[in-house]
Structure 1
Amino acid sequence: MAPIALPLTTDRLILRLFTADDIDDMYAYQGLESVARYLYRPPRTRERCAEVIDGFAEPAGWAADGDNLVLAVCRADEPGVIGEIVLKLASAHARQAEIGWTLHPAYEGRGYATEAARAAAAAAFDSLGAHRIFARLDVENTGSARVCERLGMRREAHLVENDLDGERWGSEYIYAALAHELKR
């Protein structure tokens, strides 16, 4: 599979690799309880954000199950990172890729997640050779469900109480799309 030519650009956004200069921007949203609750893990510390960004410095070759590409979502008209997009190769053999997004709450409701996810999904199909993309999300994450639907993804599954987050059972939806189904 061919690598993605980075950065990816849209009308309003630039999707690029993270750098060490992005630690504070990542921590500004990854350190929030309201963001972490849908990720089934505690909020990240600033130190953990630095470690995570260091791990993104060299993207995987996109050849083996679990390889991923994590891109910083930046507005084209102002500096700083407002969120991230993740593409993870779930099955190299079946060319299945998982897509996910996280946005700083201050930037939600403006279509940025949809715009960024649309660009990343198109790159997964066009450059990385994905046959199918899917997203797993907490059923209470209505914003992400709307993003999936705006992209043209269909809800394929509702997993009831399939994950335990501390004392809380979480349920998930799985949305998916093939290349010809994606709204570009």
Structure 2
Amino acid sequence: MDDLDDLFAFHSRPEVVRYTPWPVRNREETRAALERKLPQGELTADGQWLVLAIELRETGTVIGEVLLKWASEADRQGEIGFALHTDFQGKGLAAEAAREMLRVGFEELGLHRIVAVLDARNAASARLLERLGMRREAHHLHALRFKGEWGDEYVYALLDDEWRTARE
């Protein structure tokens, strides 16, 4: 709960949450979200999300979050997501956090495939995913009703053997 102010600093910014499933949050909504996130520090079953803070090394300030969903143990599938305070975007920090979450998924959980699903207008995240070696596999037109409007979505994916080859 010590990170509430840091979390509120980016959960309250429209430009940060534009492409996230949650709306702009006030302080109390951010507190409730943080309380829900606190027990999400490990994965023990299908359908769960691992939610980790992205912190600045120098100060310990929380500037974002990175998520990994254990979508299916039987099929060894996962999904990754991230959000970062606008003041810290464009510095490689989201890529560093997402790369580490991919490592956890492939090397620690033994996942076979990890996807990222994003709003097709989110060009910055698409570029980040491509830098991580993920490829766009799908473009779904008007795939979801998102924040009051129909939106297209991209699906990016990476396989465990592609991850291993890139690491070598």
**TM-score by shorter chain over 0.5:** yes
Determine the C-alpha separation between the residues in 2 that align with 1:135 and 1:29: 21
Quick one: structure 1 residues 40 and 72, their matched pair in 2 at CA, closer, same or farther if it must change by over 3 Å? Answer: closer
Structure holding more helix per residue = 2
- Tell me how far 1:64 sits from its aligned partner: 2.7
SS of match in other structure, 1:171: strand
Question: Which residue in 2 is equivalent to 1:149?
Answer: 130
- Tell me how far 1:58 sits from its aligned partner: 2.2
Quick one: structure 1 residues 104 and 60, their matched pair in 2 at CA, closer, same or farther if it must change by over 3 Å? Answer: closer
CA contact (8 A) 2:20 2:83 kept: no
Determine the C-alpha separation between the residues in 2 that align with 1:122 and 1:165: 30
Query: Which of the numbers 114, 128, 131 marks the counterpart of 2:95?
Result: 114
> Can you give the 5+ residue segments of structure 2 that lack an aligned partner in the other structure?
none
Quick one: structure 1 residues 85 and 61, their matched pair in 2 at CA, closer, same or farther if it must change by over 3 Å? Answer: closer
CA contact (8 A) 2:41 2:51 kept: no
Q: Give the number of equivalent residue pairs.
A: 165
Question: Which residue in 2 is equivalent to 1:29?
Answer: 10
Question: Which residue in 1 is equivalent to 2:28?
Answer: 47
Determine the C-alpha separation between the residues in 1 that align with 2:22 and 2:150: 13
Determine the C-alpha separation between the residues in 2 that align with 1:174 and 1:28: 29
Question: Which residue in 1 is equivalent to 2:19?
Answer: 38
- Tell me how far 1:107 sits from its aligned partner: 0.5
Question: Which residue in 1 is equivalent to 2:118?
Answer: 137
Question: Which residue in 2 is equivalent to 1:101?
Answer: 82
Determine the C-alpha separation between the residues in 1 that align with 2:61 and 2:111: 30
Q: Is 1:161 aligned to 2:137, yes or no?
A: no
Determine the C-alpha separation between the residues in 2 that align with 1:139 and 1:161: 10
Question: Which residue in 2 is equivalent to 1:10?
Answer: none
2:98 partner letter: A
Determine the C-alpha separation between the residues in 2 that align with 1:123 and 1:171: 29
> Can you give the 5+ residue segments of structure 1 that lack an aligned partner in the other structure?
1-19
CA contact (8 A) 1:60 1:67 kept: no
Identical columns (%) = 44
SS of match in other structure, 2:35: helix
Taking structure 2 as the reference length, the TM-score comes to: 0.91
- Tell me how far 1:99 sits from its aligned partner: 0.3
